[in-house]
Amino acid sequence: MATLINEGKAKQLFTTDDPNIIQVHYLNQATALNGKRKEPVADKGVVNNQIDSLIFNYLNQQGIATHFIKQLSPSDQLVKKMKMVRLEVVVRNYASGSFQRKFDTEYLLKFDEPVQEFYYKSDRLDDPFINDSQIHALQIATPEQLSTMRDQVFKINQLLNQLFAKAGITLVDFKVEFGFDPDGNLILGDEISPDSCRLVDSQTHASLDKDVFRKHTGNVMDGYRTVLSRLEATVK
Ligand code: C5P
């Protein structure tokens, strides 16, 4: 019998017969402001599970170690059980969101080199920015672990840039999370979907991600469905 282990903002985690494997169920709901705003969104779970499964399959094939095992059904997938590092790892190729606000830059200013940032995962504290020495002081990760995550996230950024470019989509920025698998390896976990990436149409710059929900600028599922159908056409 599968038991609910944890319910996050967009997913539920269940036990399986194997103690090292977790079943992830994607929910039909969207949140913003760190969960303070929550609304049902029909089909979002199914579309996000398919986008995430396609992306993680691609990353696994490209030699990135991830928690992803396989897609089980339209809304569910199997992943390795992970002990997550309490960090959000953000990469930015263009200015948007909190970077644009903080430094008052032009929207979609292109960076010569991708920008990488860490945030401390805490809903209570609203995920504050954290630097390397703060991470070490709080014993969240060692210098070696930080450099592994940095190396991996830049490789992931290159691979995702290539994948999305083929689909006519520009990857503005994204967030990933790492954790330790049952063998103690530090690998990519969590989710990569339009909930955790900024994606714009390469030609029109129309927003295809959760910013549409955050800013109330239209039907958020239109962009998510565009991302899925274009990625499916790309990997065929
Ligand atoms: O808000 P900000 O510009 O810092 O977000 C950078 C990237 O990280 C965006 O793609 C956003 O969707 C993602 N993010 C996330 N979860 C958070 C904060 C940011 O997925 N809690």
pTM (global) more than 0.80: yes
Regarding the beta carbon of 94 and ligand 1, being less than 6 Å apart is answered no
What DSSP assignment string belongs to 91-145? EEEE--HHHHHHHTPPTTPEEEEEEEEEEE--TTTT--EE-HHHHHHTTSS-HHH
Regarding the beta carbon of 191 and ligand 1, being less than 6 Å apart is answered no
For 1-60, what is each residue's pLDDT tens digit?
Answer: 789 999 999 999 999 999 999 999 999 999 999 889 999 999 999 999 999 999 999 999
**142: its two tokens:** 């060692």
Q: What separation in Å is there between the alpha carbon of 193 and the centre of ligand 1? A: 11
**pLDDT, average across residues 80-89:** 98
Decide if pLDDT at 106 tops 90. yes
For 107-130, what is each residue's pLDDT tens digit?
Answer: 999 999 999 999 999 999 999 999
**20: its two tokens:** 């090292």
What is the pLDDT confidence band of residue 100, given thresholds at 50, 70 and 90? Answer: very high
Please state, in angstroms and rounded to a whole number, the distance separating the CA atoms of residues 69 and 106.
40
- Residue 34: predicted pLDDT: 86
Q: In what order do the strands lie in the sheet with 87-94?
A: 129-130, 110-120, 87-94, 169-176, 197-201
User: What's the angle, vertex CA 213, arms to CA 212 and CA 217, rounded to 5?
Assistant: 45
Q: What separation in Å is there between the alpha carbon of 210 and the centre of ligand 1? A: 10
Report the DSSP pairing between strands 87-94 and 169-176: antiparallel
| Radius of gyration over every alpha carbon of the chain, rounded to an integer in angstroms | 17
| C-alpha 29, offset from chain centre | 16
- Residue 46: predicted pLDDT: 98
- Average pLDDT along the chain: 97
Atom index in ligand 1 nearest the CA of residue 196 equals 20
- Residue 114: predicted pLDDT: 98
Please state, in angstroms and rounded to a whole number, the distance separating the CA atoms of residues 99 and 66.
27
Q: ipTM of the assembly?
A: 0.98
- Bridge partners of 198, per DSSP, are 173
What is the pLDDT confidence band of residue 70, given thresholds at 50, 70 and 90? Answer: very high
**pLDDT, average across residues 207-230:** 97
For 150-170, what is each residue's pLDDT tens digit?
Answer: 999 999 999 999 999 999 999
- Residue 166: predicted pLDDT: 98
- Residue 35: predicted pLDDT: 87
Residue type, 205: H
Q: What separation in Å is there between the alpha carbon of 97 and the centre of ligand 1? A: 8
**89: its two tokens:** 């790892």
CA distances from 34 to 8, 126, 172 (A): 11, 7, 20
Regarding the beta carbon of 98 and ligand 1, being less than 6 Å apart is answered yes
Q: What separation in Å is there between the alpha carbon of 212 and the centre of ligand 1? A: 13
